[in-house]
Amino acid sequence: MLAMILAAGQGERMGRLTQETPKPLLKVNGKPLIVYQIESLAMAGVKKIIINTGRLGELIQETIGSGKNYDVEISYSNEGSLPLETAGGVMKALPLLGEKSFILTNADIFTDFDYNLLPKNLGPSDAHIVLVGNPKHNQEGDFVLTDGQIFESGPEALTYSGIGLFHPRFFKKYMPKKKRYPLAPLLRKSIEKKTLSGQKFTGLWFDIGTPERLDKINKQYTRNK
């Protein structure tokens, strides 16, 4: 199976930390965030990974290289200084991803999620996403999970983890004719068509969105070692 790691974000909320370092290269316990994702994907049997990059993306490519050190093949989709947002970035990279389902994950999360837990195929669904309990910065949640199906609203909403399994048709069916576009509207279109399934993950998961969150996980991770 192939995977794509989303690494083209500007990292503006990280302040001075990302002035000269792309967010995916910020470290937890001395290791870049993106490396944890690469290693987890490789452990799950992924052999080829596409990484999209934006500002300072050359530093990611210089650091990660061809993937040889991680026993995977890594290719890059460079978006330049103006990232295409999540859906736009995937659309640009689709020629590299082929015609089968692929794992899509954010570079700026820290998690012990086992990618083997994702379904082996999507069946009638266009995509399958992983939801987690709501962190403090997103207490209202994003979507509702009921019997393996995703709904837009209802009680006990959960947060989208930034991890999912997507078929190329998801983007071809729901993406408007725009180069820059986020993922959330496409997920909602898929919900309307009842083609979005999901699962809940209760393990370690952090969205490294601010310097404070990065500092917190560094302290917690070091303490638990």
CATH of the domain at 26: 3.90.550.10
**Burial class of residue 107 in the structure, from the number of CB atoms within 10 Å of its CB (0-12 exposed, 13-18 middle, 19+ buried):** buried
Q: What is the largest CA-CA distance in the chain?
A: 48
Determine the Cα–Cα distance for residues 174 and 160; give it in Å rounded to an integer: 19
Determine the Cα–Cα distance for residues 109 and 155; give it in Å rounded to an integer: 26
Residue among 123, 155, 151, 138 nearest 207 (CA): 138
Tell me: the pLDDT tens digits for 124-152? 999 999 999 999 999 999 999 999 999 99
- 19: which residues sit within 8 A by CB, 6+ positions away? none
User: Is the whole model's pTM more than 0.85, yes or no?
Assistant: yes
Instruction: Please tell me what DSSP assigns to residue 13.
Output: G
How many domains, in total, are found in the chain? 1
Residue found under tokens 């192939």: 2
Determine the Cα–Cα distance for residues 125 and 116; give it in Å rounded to an integer: 18
Tell me: the pLDDT tens digits for 173-198? 999 999 999 999 999 999 999 999 99
Note down the domain range covering 201: 2-224
Tell me: the pLDDT tens digits for 88-110? 999 999 999 999 999 999 999 99
